[in-house]
Structure 1
Amino acid sequence: MANHKSALKRIRQNEARRLRNRYYHKTARTAVKVLRNEEDKKVASEQLPKVISLIDKLAKKNIIHKNKASNLKSKLTKHVNSLGY
């Protein structure tokens, strides 16, 4: 266990950030899953910008890699465009 005051604070900060990052990541994964399961093109087209925004925020905060974010956005956009009316 850490002995220095600053190390104890760092442990507290890391734990809080870890939990926050897990929450954001799980929320985005759920949104992606909902979008992938959507059958209606109109509804999916409305959801897509919101999901892309969530993914961009994760990449900006280094919760996911920027290339993974790009791949996700590309695949989701292709999926939405391939949906029938």
Structure 2
Amino acid sequence: MANHKSALKRIRSNETKRLRNKYQHKTTRNAIKKLRGTEDAKEASALFPKVASMIDKLAKRNIIHDNKAANLKSSLAKHVAKLA
């Protein structure tokens, strides 16, 4: 167990950040699933910029790797283009 006040604070802040990252990551994954399941081109093209923005934010905060973000956005863009 941690003995220093700073270590105790670090434990608390790490847990808070972990839960926030988990929430943002799960929300983005659900949005990706919703976009992939969409068959309507108009709805998909409206949803794509929002999902791409969510993916970019995860990459910026190092929740996911930059290359994974690029691969996700690329595959989603292909899906949207195929519907149109």
Residues 2-58 of structure 1, C-alpha deviations (whole Å, 9 max, x = no match): 011100000000000000000000000000000000000010000000000000000
Provide the TM-score with structure 2 as the length reference: 0.98
Q: Identity, % of aligned pairs?
A: 69
Task: Please provide the CA RMSD for this pair.
Answer: 0.6
Provide the TM-score with structure 1 as the length reference: 0.97
Runs of 4+ in 1 over 6 A off after TM superposition: none
Describe how 1:12-27 pairs up with structure 2 within 5 A: 12-27=12-27
**Aligned counterpart, 1:82:** 82
Supply the AA of the counterpart residue of 1:3: N
Residues matched between the structures, number? 84
Q: Which runs of 5+ in 2 are unaligned?
A: none
Q: Which runs of 5+ in 1 are unaligned?
A: none
Q: Tell me, in whole angstroms, the C-alpha distance in 2 between the residues paired with 1:43 and 1:79.
A: 12
**Aligned counterpart, 1:34:** 34
